[in-house]
Amino acid sequence: MHTSLCSFGLVILSLLFLFTTTQAQSGRIPTPAQHGMVTSSQYHGSEVGQAILKSGGNAIDAAVATAFALAVTYPSAGNIGGGGFLVYHGADGEVTTFNFREKAPLASTADMYLGSNGKIKNNSNHDGPLSVGVPGTVAGLWAAHQKLGSKPWSELLQPAIDLAEKGIPSSWNMQRIMKYFQGREEAVYDASKEAFLKKGKDLYEPGETWKQPDLAKTLKRIQKDGKDGFYKGKTAKLFAKFMKKHGGIITEEDLAKYEAVEQAAVHGTYRGHDIYAMAPPSSGGVAVVEMLNILEGFDLKEMGHNSAMYLHVLTEAMRRAYADRAEFIGDPAFNPDMPLERLLSKAHAKELRQTIGLFKASPSDSSRFNKALAYESEETTHFSVVDAAGSAVSLTYTLEYGYGSRIVMAGGGFLLNNEMGDFNPIPGLTNSRGLIGTKPNLVAPEKRMLSSMSPTIVAKDGKPLLVIGSPGGRTIINTVLQVILNVIDHDMNVAQAIEAGRIHHQWLPNITSFETHSISPDTRRLYEMMGHKIRFRGAQGQAMGIYIDPVTGIRYGAADSRSFDGKAVGY
C-alpha cells in the first residue's frame, strides 16, 4: 500500500510539473521549463511563441511569431504599425541587436507642431495623422529573421493570420477603447470603428468573438512578400492614400526608404556579469549600464532591499543617468559626437558616485542646460524568449500611447503609432516639470526619436542568464534596473524580482514615485528626511523575464502580475 501511495504521489508531482510548464506563474513563483520559454503580456502571444519553439524553431523564430500574434491579440501595444528594439544573445556567444525604431517622415521639420505663439498646436505631436512616424516593426522582424531565423517566414505569420481570421474573445480590457471609438465622429476614425466595433457601431461584449479581416489581409501580404508586403505594393499605397486624405505627411517614398538597422549592443559589466542592451536611439542601454556602474561602488545587499538608504542611492544614480540621457542621447545618425564611451565608463561612474552624499538628496537643476524630455506613454509591451539551445531574445516594441494614435488605416486593419510625440517638441525649452528641448532629440527628416525602451540580457560566463524588459515610458529604464539588482544583489528568483515594489526618478521633475503600498511609513519618513520628495502611483511597468539556471539549465519564466493577461509558457 505504501509503495502504491508513493507511486501515486510521484505521478501527481509529475502532472503538476507538466501543468506548471504550460501555465502562467502565480505571484512570486516562476514557471519552470526544461527546453524553451516565452513570457509576454498576452497569453495568446506566449502560446504562439511556445508552439514555434516546440516545433523546432529558434528564439528569433519564436520572437517573430509572438510579435505578429500580439499585433492581433494585444492591440494596445502589440503592433505592425509601430516600432521597437530587439536584443539577441546566442547560445554560441553571438550578441547583436536590431533597431527598428520609427522614423520621422521626409517632410518633417523641427517646429512642425508649433503655432505662431511658439506653443504646440492642438496636441498635434500626439493626436492625429501628423503624430504618426514611419513604422519599423515589420522591417525589424524581417531583418532579424533574415539574419538569424531558421523556420520559413510564411510559417511564422500563419498563427497571427489564423487569430485575425478566426477571431479571439473580446476582453474587458478592450471596453474602454471601444467606447472611445463610439464617441468619435471625425472621418479619420471611420476605419477604427470598423475594426473595433460590431458593424462599426456596437460594442463587443467581453468573451464575444472579435475578428479582424482587414488585418488578416495585410498579414497575408507580409506573409507572401516579406518586408515588401508592408513597405511596398498595396499596403504602402493604402497607407499613403490615407495619409494624404487626412492631412498626414507619410508617403510611399517614406515607406520604401525605411530600413531596420542591425547594430552592436551596448555592453557593460556588473559584479562579474555581462550586461547587453540597446544602443541609441534607445537611451535605455546607456542609462542602465551607467546606473549599474554607479551602484557597483555601494554594498547594496548590506543596505537591504528597499531600505531608506538603498532607495536613496538608487535615486541618486537615477538622477545622474537621466540628466546625462537628456543632455547627450539621440539618434546616432544625427548625433555622431555622443560621448557614449565616456558615459558607459567606470571612470565616469566613479566621478558621479563621488558627488552622492550618503544622507542628503542632490538637487535636480534644469539650468544645467537652459534648454528643455518629451512625454513618453507607458503603453508599450515587452516579451522574452529562450529556446532549447539556450539562445535568448529580449524584444520591446510600442505604438507609443495605448492603441497609438487610435487611427486605423482604411483597408489595412492595423493601428498607427503616434511616436512623433517622442521627439522634443519645442526646441530650446527645458523646465522643472520634465519638459526637455535639448538638441539631440529634435525632429528632423528620417530621424529616429529617442526612446526609453530597454530590452536587456544579462549573461554569465558567455551564456544568457536573465532576459528582461518592460513597458512603462521613461520608467522602463528604472524597472529593468531594479529587476537586475533584485536578482544579482538580493538573490531573488525572477518572479520575486519582478513582483517587488519599484520606484522611479527621472531627474526632472525632482520627485520620486513609489508604487502604492511598496514602502513602510518608517522607510518613507527616513527617505524624506534626506530631502527627497515623493508621490505614490499605481503599477509601474509590466516586466516579462526569464532566468536560466546556470547549473540545471532549467528556464524560469515570470509574467508580471501587473499585466492583465500576461503569461509565461514553456515546455
* Residue from 394, 413, 21 nearest 213 by CA: 413
Q: What are the φ and ψ backbone dihedral angles of 284, each rounded to 5 degrees?
A: -60, -45
CA angle centred on 85, ends 82 and 86, rounded to 5° = 130
Whether the ω angle into residue 281 lies within 30 degrees of 0, i.e. cis, is yes
**Is the separation of the CB atoms in 568 and 37 below 8 Å?**
yes
Distance of alpha carbon 399 from alpha carbon 401, whole angstroms: 6
Structural contact between residues 30 and 39, judged by C-beta atoms closer than 8 angstroms = no
Contact indicator for 114, 120 with CB cutoff of 8 Å: yes
In 183-275, where does DSSP find H-type helix?
Answer: 190-196, 213-225, 228-231, 233-246, 252-257
Measured distance CA(181)–CA(243) in Å, rounded:
19
Active-site residue set: 380
Report helix, strand or coil for 213: helix
Cα 170 to Cα 168: distance, rounded to the nearest angstrom: 6
| Calpha distance 188→211 (Å, rounded) | 21
The alpha carbon of residue 471 and the mean position of all alpha carbons in its chain are separated, in whole angstroms, by 4
Amino acid at 202: D
Select from 525, 522, 521, 504 the least CA-distant residue to 513: 504
Task: List beta partners, residue 464.
Answer: 459
Grid coordinates 485575425 are at which residue? 164
Give me the DSSP letters along 428-447: T---TTS----GGGB--TTP
